[in-house]
Amino acid sequence: MLFEPLQLRGVTLPNRIAVSPMQVYMADAKGMANDWHLHHLGKFATGGAGLVFTEGLIVDPVGRSTYSDCGIWTDAQIPPLRRITDFLRAQGAVPAAQLHHAGAKAARRRAWEGFSALDDEDAAKGEPPWQPVGVSEARTLAKYHAPRAMTDEEVAAIPETFAQAARRADTAGFDVVELHGAHGYLIHSFLSPVSNTRGAPYGGSPEARMKLALDVAEAVREVWPARKPLFVRLSCVDGVEGGLCIEDSVRLAHELKARGVDVIDCSSGGIRSATSSSSSGPPKPGFQVPYADQIRREADLATMAVGLILKAQQAEDILRNGDADIIALGRAVLEDPNWGLRAAHELGLDPNRDRWPNPYAWAVRALDAARDAG
């Protein structure tokens, strides 16, 4: 099943392997993609993935996590993204973009610099901090800046900001867009009762907490071509006391489906600590798969499973068990960009390496022969 096509609206995924959105912090200060992004994403398409997501493309510069995030807040950012989508499509993969606003988790250093808040030292290097905005004035973590609480009028403008970004994504040649509603970023911070302490109209009840997410989905679906599928990434559980539980996310998924969302990308956590949540110690392989299973069954909506899915047979079993429709890989493809090609070989679908690009196939066959010879 891992290599069966999947039809989503008017788009056909050639297989069920997706490269998950992963921030890489390699854009310039204007949010422009470059040759590094072309190579980074292109190798996953040549490596056998059927659906390749960009990192979260920032819809508003105030919503950048770092100075090195890729953007989609201006038309000037379209041409380098178009170069990437053209290449991905030429390799047989479906190009996909995640639309992202970091909310209170903005104005940070890059991942390998510790993700701490930008300060005067950074300003002296040409990267001054800016004022993040969020659902409230509370810090997500002590090492981040205190955000400014958005006014209701500012919140009401966010759906159109995402819609304009979706229009640019269409012009840039993407066939799938995903809304980032997870990991403590802007949309998730409105969804979670832990972070959302507002009153009406955007807080105070489960329905009000869902309002921003639903308004964004509705606005994007209105401008995103009807033939192209819309995904939403959710933190299906917060993993902290008083936070979102899976039942909340099932209810939200029902509402998102009614607004034209096609797939829920099922992640977890991020409100008070890491960007993933496991209630029983260090995450185990496939620890988020049960969320994809429950939403798929109870909301009758396609799901994408993500989180320490490492081996081909593990991915195949998730699909055969009916737990998800798509398998999303992150760190596993960073380690092995040819994960998809290797998986086809391991599952017995490509014994002669015929799926490999011609410049590689003959050499890999020779490697197989050498291994077989002992």
pLDDT digits (tens, 9 = 90+) for 199-212: 999 999 999 999 99
CATH of domain 6-337: 3.20.20.70
Please say if the pLDDT value at position 278 is more than 60.
Answer: no
Q: What is the pLDDT of residue 298?
A: 98
- Average pLDDT, whole number, for the chain? 96
With a CB cutoff of 8 Å and minimum separation 6, the contacts of 53 are 18, 19, 20, 21, 22, 96, 97, 98, 176, 178
Interval 228-234 mean pLDDT: 98
Q: What is the pLDDT of residue 331?
A: 95
Please say if the pLDDT value at position 281 is more than 90.
Answer: no
Please say if the pLDDT value at position 65 is more than 80.
Answer: yes
**Catalytic amino acids?**
185
Interval 52-70 mean pLDDT: 98
Q: What is the pLDDT of residue 280?
A: 56
Q: Which residues of 95-116 are buried (b: 16+ CB within 10 A; e: fewer)?
A: bbbbbbbbbbbbbbbbeeeeee
Question: How far apart (Å, rounded) are the C-alpha atoms in residues 341 and 350?
Answer: 8
Distances (CA, A) of 288 to 113, 310, 336: 28, 13, 21
Question: Among 59-73, 151-165, 179-193, 262-276, where is mean pLDDT lowest?
Answer: 262-276
In Å, the largest CA–CA distance within the chain is 71
Q: What is the DSSP string of 200-250?
A: TTTSSSHHHHHHHHHHHHHHHHHHS-TTS-EEEEEES---STTS--HHHHH
Question: How far apart (Å, rounded) are the C-alpha atoms in residues 23 and 331?
Answer: 12
> What residue ranges do the domains of the chain occupy?
6-337
Mutual angle of helices 289-299 and 246-258, in 10-degree steps: 50
Please say if the pLDDT value at position 61 is more than 60.
Answer: yes
At residue 243's C-alpha, the angle toward residues 238 and 248, to 5°, is: 85
Tokens 């969320």 appear where? 291
φ/ψ of residue 38, rounded to 5: -60, -45
Confidence of residue 374 (pLDDT cuts 50, 70, 90): confident
Confidence of residue 277 (pLDDT cuts 50, 70, 90): low
| pTM (two decimals) | 0.96
Q: What is the pLDDT of residue 279?
A: 55
Question: How far apart (Å, rounded) are the C-alpha atoms in residues 66 and 27?
Answer: 10
Q: What is the pLDDT of residue 275?
A: 62
Question: How far apart (Å, rounded) are the C-alpha atoms in residues 209 and 249?
Answer: 12
Q: What is the pLDDT of residue 142?
A: 86
Confidence of residue 283 (pLDDT cuts 50, 70, 90): confident
Question: How far apart (Å, rounded) are the C-alpha atoms in residues 133 and 140?
Answer: 12
